[in-house]
Chain A
Amino acid sequence: MKKLYTLSIFTENRHGLLHRVTVIFTRRRINIESLTVSESETKGVHRYTIVIESDENHIQKIVKQLEKQVDVIKAFYHKDEETVFQEIALYKVPTHKIANGVKLETLVRNNHARILEVEPDFMIIEKTGHKEETQQLLDALAPFGVMEFVRSGRVSVTKPEKELAAYLQ
């Protein structure tokens, strides 16, 4: 059965490596739902968080093929319930349409969102959460006219059996 999996891939910091990583998904015709790359807790080691829809059988093979890449240190996969994850979303909405209403405050408060900036023409709202939650706010803001919307890729923290350092020996 297909479900969402989060891959955490620890790699050397090499240019071009993203291409090597994505090729593995391209070959198997797998769509990347989201992708985030940043330096990990270890200097010089990058962490990719990739979300894909797959099944257990395929995901195991993908993880092995990822680890086979010379510059990949270690790769893990997790189901949603095995990881703590978040996404961040930013919403740009017209100030005047909302400023008079009480609705906005309620919306922001009820959604545990916050206002980052207020300009005469627009304001920027930020919300972190799972995709369904940021989507909910987007739907709620839709009647006011959303000028811009952006959602980040997932970041996720998992519980690898060993500390990353153990794989770097």
Chain B
Amino acid sequence: METLSLSEKPTVAVTENITGAEAVVKSLIAEGTDTIFGYPGGAIMPVYDALFHYQSELKHVLTRHEQGATHAAQGFARATGKVGVAIATSGPGATNLITGIADAQIDSTPMVCITGQVASPLLGSDAFQETDIVGISMPVTKWNYQITCAEEIPWVMAKAFYIAKSGRPGPVLIDITKDAQFQSFDFEYRKCEKVRSYNPVPKADPLKIKDAAQLINAAKRPFVLFGQGIILSEAEKEFQDFIEKGGLPAAWTIMGLSALDTSHPLNVGMLGMHGNYGPNLLTNECDVLIAIGMRFDDRVTGDLTKYAKQAKVVHIEIDPAEIDKNVKTEVALLGDAKSVLQQLTPLIQDNTHDNWLQQFKDCDAKEKEVVIDNEIAPTSGEMTMGEVIARINKQTNGDAIIVTDVGQHQMMACRYAHFKKSKSNITSGGLGTMGFCLPAALGAKIGAPEREVVAVIGDGGFQMTIQELATIAQTEAAVKILILNNEFLGMVRQWQQLFFDKRYSHTHMVNPDFVAVTKGFGIDAVMVDKRENLDEAVKNFIQSETSCLLEVRVGKENNVFPMVPSGASVAEVRLS
């Protein structure tokens, strides 16, 4: 039974009889895909053979590991707003995709993964390189499907793209048996416009929009929290209009970072465990909390039983399952952030909250004195991560896409990098996937070649997907790779120092010579271990026309502050 509506107009009219493999390629092209990331193998070879004939329409980037293909597809999707595509063979190729799929699921990244599968008569027989990838990926995909006959390819591909990008985006996996790739059939492609069991964009109730406006208008200390929802719905302008009209201080989750200019007077900074002092502390002092396109992750809220209990909560959110999941709302506005804000802003009074905003500024001043100044402008002692990021800001003017890995350097980059444009901060937020950065930066650069792309990576995470240096070299993507080397799994070491009496259990690393290794891959590399050489090195790094690596030796036992200790209330945020 058909359960989806396909477009009346075929995107591709019936063409001659083609194979399933060619149909996969033609479907990708019909969806507007121009770049895919992947790795070949037995069960996907027919599709690779078809790719050979379409090289001018569809660029394939050969990553050096399937995990790299998923993160590259994610980086591509996050930088462009398009669906990222990764392709792999059956068995180990398919299982290697799982980390990236899980990452895309939790960070709502539109991605379509295509895997080859053993021929359908062999399914279930433990055939060579057979794994039940549909079963394995089920908990971490928005939708998945196994194709066993070629006729299914066009409608399943259309549905896959529609589901991946509509509503709250996410990853979809399509598994295609080898016999289906070989079969021939009459190909016709229609885009998918509706799936009857799926309501991607709920409509906000106009009465509730009025209620929300009333709450916001009556608020003395309103506080806006924004997440990636603003970026995904491309509501940056509507969001700025909203906060400016209401005079509403706004703080971001790391997924929402870059949706609002870092220097905007109402941008009060970062939420969460290593966020800014004011946004954490004052969460428990606001009277109305307006959360937009964010999901109250535990890294943002700390102890939920002591989170914003005094506040009335307005939650603007596209996914009904997020409403009341972690924080009880007063008014829930279901829908796409852009459309909800378009309806809400006209009902908001022109307002300012100067005294309240001043409280954030006071907190800022305190944080600056205790934490920030020492971090971004130290004059003696070991180099800090913050001062390197500050140099990057100076060179890029806040115009770059900053991609980060996971750990201390990630928190430092999110805290101190400047952003003027949206879709410019790409990080693994929900899953915290080390190894994400290098391939994601490659994907971002390929998706947005006109932008400067700076990958900020720790010495630990770099070694998780270091093989993608070869992909960067081969594609000549001018990714700038910054390694902040503290010779430790820094973030874990920080926790060991603070919560495990300094027992540095297996967090120290004897690292390879990163410069030599990188040069071995054919990419220029420089190491800096003295402050007096940093300015010049960062300047050359950013000005380079080609990909290059800059390793900076930073303090080995530096910590990220402020910090909301895990399980504590946001109000217990520590400055040291």
Contact = CB atoms under 8 A, between A and B. Distances in A.
Interface string B421-440: 00000000000000000000
B163 A70 contact: yes
Given A70-B143, A70-B197, A71-B197, A16 B321 contact: no
B568 interface: no
Interface in B117-153: 134-135, 138-139, 142-144, 146
Contacts of A43: 1
Given A20-B138, A70-B142, A12 B197 contact: yes
B324 A44 contact: no
Contacts of B3: 12, 44
Contacts of B138: 16, 19-20, 23
A76 to B, nearest CB: 14
Interface in A10-46: 11-13, 16, 19-20, 23, 26-27, 43-44
Contact of B324 (A27, A60, A67, A72): A60
B198 A70 contact: yes
Nearest to B140: A23
Contacts, number: 48
Q: Which 7 pairs, one residue from A and one from B, show the smallest C-beta to C-beta distance?
A: A44-B1, A64-B321, A73-B197, A70-B143, A23-B139, A68-B321, A70-B198
A128 to B, nearest CB: 31
Contacts of B163: 70
Nearest to B135: A19
B87 to A, nearest CB: 21
B195 A70 contact: yes
A44 B3 CA distance: 9
Given A43-B1, A70-B142, A16 B134 contact: yes
Interface string A39-79: 00001100000000000000011001101101111000000
Contacts of A11: 197
Nearest to B168: A68
Given A11-B197, A27-B139, A65-B321, 11 more contacts: A16-B146, A19-B138, A23-B139, A43-B1, A64-B320, A64-B323, A70-B163, A70-B198, A71-B143, A72-B197, A73-B196
B319 interface: yes
B325 interface: yes
A84 interface: no
Contacts of A67: 320-321
Contacts of B197: 11-12, 70-73, 168
Nearest to A71: B197
A54 B10 CA distance: 48
A13 B1 contact: yes
A93 to B, nearest CB: 38
Interface string B180-205: 00000000000000011110000000
A148 B159 CA distance: 47
Nearest to A64: B321
A20 to B, nearest CB: 5
Interface string B310-330: 000000000111011100000
Q: Which of A13, A16, A61, A70 has the most CB of B within 10 A?
A: A70
B167 to A, nearest CB: 9
Contacts of A169: 196
Q: How large is the interface on B (under 10, 10 to 19, 20 to 34, 35 or more residues)?
A: 20 to 34
A72 B195 CA distance: 11
Nearest to A168: B196
Contacts of B139: 23, 26-27
17 contacts: A13-B1, A23-B139, A27-B139, A44-B1, A44-B3, A64-B321, A64-B325, A67-B321, A68-B320, A68-B321, A70-B142, A70-B143, A70-B197, A71-B143, A71-B197, A72-B197, A168-B197
B319 A68 contact: yes
A23 B134 CA distance: 13
Contacts of A70: 142-143, 163, 195, 197-198
A73 B1 CA distance: 15
A65 B163 CA distance: 16
Interface in B1-50: 1, 3
Contacts of A168: 196-197
A47 to B, nearest CB: 13
A158 B393 CA distance: 61
B158 to A, nearest CB: 14
Contacts of B319: 68
A67 B3 CA distance: 16
Nearest to B143: A70
Q: Report which residue of A27, A68, A73 has the largest number of chain B beta carbons within 10 angstroms of its beta carbon.
A: A68
Contacts of A19: 135, 138
B325 A61 contact: yes
Nearest to B146: A16
Contacts of A64: 320-321, 323, 325
Contacts of B321: 61, 64-65, 67-68
Nearest to B144: A16
Interface in B338-375: none
A27 B106 CA distance: 14
Nearest to B197: A73
Interface string B374-385: 000000000000
Interface centre among B134, B138, B195, by most chain A C-beta atoms within 10 angstroms, is: B138
A168 B3 CA distance: 9
A150 B93 CA distance: 43
B561 to A, nearest CB: 34
A11 B3 CA distance: 11
A10 to B, nearest CB: 9
Contacts of A72: 197
B1 A16 contact: no
Of the listed residues A16, A43, A60, the one surrounded by the most CB atoms of chain B closer than 10 A to its CB is A16
Interface string A101-145: 000000000000000000000000000000000000000000000
A160 to B, nearest CB: 16
A26 B138 CA distance: 12
A15 to B, nearest CB: 8
Nearest to A72: B197
